[in-house]
Amino acid sequence: MEAQAEKETALIEAILYLEADPLDEAGLVRISGLSKELVQTALEALGERYAREDSGVELSRIGGGVMISPKREYWDNLKERYGKKNESKLSKAALETLSIIAYSQPITRSEIEAIRGVSADNMIRLLLEKELIREMGKKDIPGKPTQYGTTREFLKFFRLESIADLPKLNESETDRFELNG
């Protein structure tokens, strides 16, 4: 790699290091002042560098953006000290509610409750506070109930590029996320 491209790659690496959230290519172009092509070249170079055995980090594609994060293989060693504080505070009930929303979005509170069989008010409030879900509008039925869906923070939390990257459900699991009746 020529010296100029090395400097540009180093600049992109520094930007990604300093950013807490994933950045898309347009954001990297804007912040760095480099062309889209140079940003793409730098990302490819960083991806190759981080793929090597002697690197503890990787480029993660999350929610349409890119960020530097620890390689998954090291996460078990790191999560106790460096894991998100709110990760340990998600109860089984909160994770169950979040799973229902993720796989069934957009979905209303009453639809969540019909699947879970219990009130979802507290779990929805908690997930909204943690910004893992958001209000996505109103359902066009009497009463116009609010519909919920996941956020970019949800993708970041679970290290997903998009909702399409959620684990696939088998038939019996799929049945659990459908309304009975």
In this structure, is residue 86 part of a structural domain?
Answer: no
Q: Could you tell me the pTM of the whole model? A: 0.62
Burial 130-169 (b: 16+ CB within 10 A, else e): bebbbebeebeeeeeeebbbbbbbbbbbeebeeeeeeeee
pLDDT at 178 exceeding the cut of 80: no
* Bridge partners, 108 (sequence order): 147
Q: Which of 46, 81, 116 is the last residue of a domain?
A: 81
Residue 43 pLDDT: 95
Residue pair 70/57 in contact (Cβ under 8 Å)? The answer is yes
- Name which residue leads in pLDDT, 176 or 59: 59
Both 109 and 35 in one domain: the answer is no
The rounded percent of the chain whose pLDDT value lies above 90 is 49
Note whether 14 and 64 are same-domain residues: yes
Where do the DSSP E strands lie in the chain?
A: 57-62, 65-70, 107-108, 133-138, 146-150
15 with 66, same domain? Answer: yes
| pLDDT per position as a tens digit, 127-154 | 998 899 999 999 999 999 999 999 998 9
101 and 135 part of one domain? yes
Q: Do 102 and 141 sit in the same domain of this protein?
A: yes
